[in-house]
Amino acid sequence: MARPYWKGYLKLSLVTCPVNMSPATSESEKVRFHTLNKETGNRVVSQYIDSVTGKPVTDENEAKSYAPGENDYVILTDDDLDRVALDTVKTIDIEKFVPAESIEWVYLQKPHYLMPDDAVGNEAFAVIRDAMKADKVVGISKLVVGRREKAVVLEPRDEGIVLWSLRFGDEVRPEEAYFEDIDDEADPDLVPLVQKLIKQKTKRWSPDMVTDPIQESLLALIEEKKKALKPRKKSAKSTEAAAPASNVINIINALRKSVADELKSRKAG
């Protein structure tokens, strides 16, 4: 289990319990590259450089700033940022509830697992979780991480709660601007064919459906290079793909063929 990166309190009116939170996702297994000096084989390190003088900037001289205009900067110190710190730094105070299905997926940003931080808080945590389950609602709150306030939604899941950080309303582009030129209705003769194809391809969800082929290829390549002192010469292969017979495809024939192919595949299996 990953070490919690946030600890605080879950609060609903007068009910409070200590909780901790851990990221629900991880990219630590992904292949990550480092930049080396090819001549020496040593790691290359980055450094802040003054854009005018060209000289390195020491840690004590680094400062956060905001640019209200071009080449116009307002410097903010740590004391300035502490003055605007919010009370929600250590408390997730559930302010309101909404139906679970009413939040569109585009607003969901990053999932975290929320759980009681000690045995004493188990009962209060369970009461809040089960009440949300019974009413099929999710909780809306705020959370401060890294001096920035985030809107969050709390979704009861199994024995715990999944906390999703939310995008703010002005961060989501309206879909109408992108979908307005699409046909309102599809050809009614084609819909049953697609439904039949969807039914044949429908399975229960499994994480194995979303593997990363590039990651697997990179790991195989790295292992190969570790074993060999010198990289093996690969035989040249033609990269030219056979051109399709025609760019114009009859959608009805294509759908019927897809359905037939799927049936043959299932029978063969």
Domain span including residue 152: 1-25+62-200
**Helix, coil or strand: residue 248:** coil
Residue 182, domain member (yes or no): yes
Whether 11 maps to a domain, the answer reads yes
Q: In terms of DSSP H, where are the helices of the chain?
A: 78-83, 122-135, 176-179, 191-201, 213-227, 251-268
CA torsion sign, 77 to 82 to 85 to 89?
positive
Q: Is residue 54 part of a domain?
A: no
| Beta strand spans in the chain (E) | 6-12, 15-23, 64-69, 72-76, 91-93, 96-99, 108-116, 137-145, 148-157, 160-166
CA gap 226, 35 in Å, rounded: 18
**Residue 50 falls inside a structural domain:** no
Tell me the pLDDT tens digit for each residue of 124-162: 999 999 999 999 999 999 988 776 788 999 999 999 999
List pLDDT tens digits, range 182-209.
Answer: 888 888 888 899 899 889 989 898 888 7
Average pLDDT over residues 228-245: 54
Is there a domain that residue 262 lies in? no
Rounded to 5°, the CA angle 104-107-112 comes to 110
Residue 95 in tokens = 């302010």
Phi-psi label, residue 153: left if phi above 0, alpha if psi -120 to 50, beta otherwise: beta
Residue 119 sits in a domain whose CATH number is: 2.40.290.10
How many domains does the structure of the chain reveal? 1
Whether residue 260 lies inside any domain: the answer is no
Please report the pLDDT score of residue 1 as a whole number: 63
Structural domain includes residue 155 = yes
3-class secondary structure, 26: coil
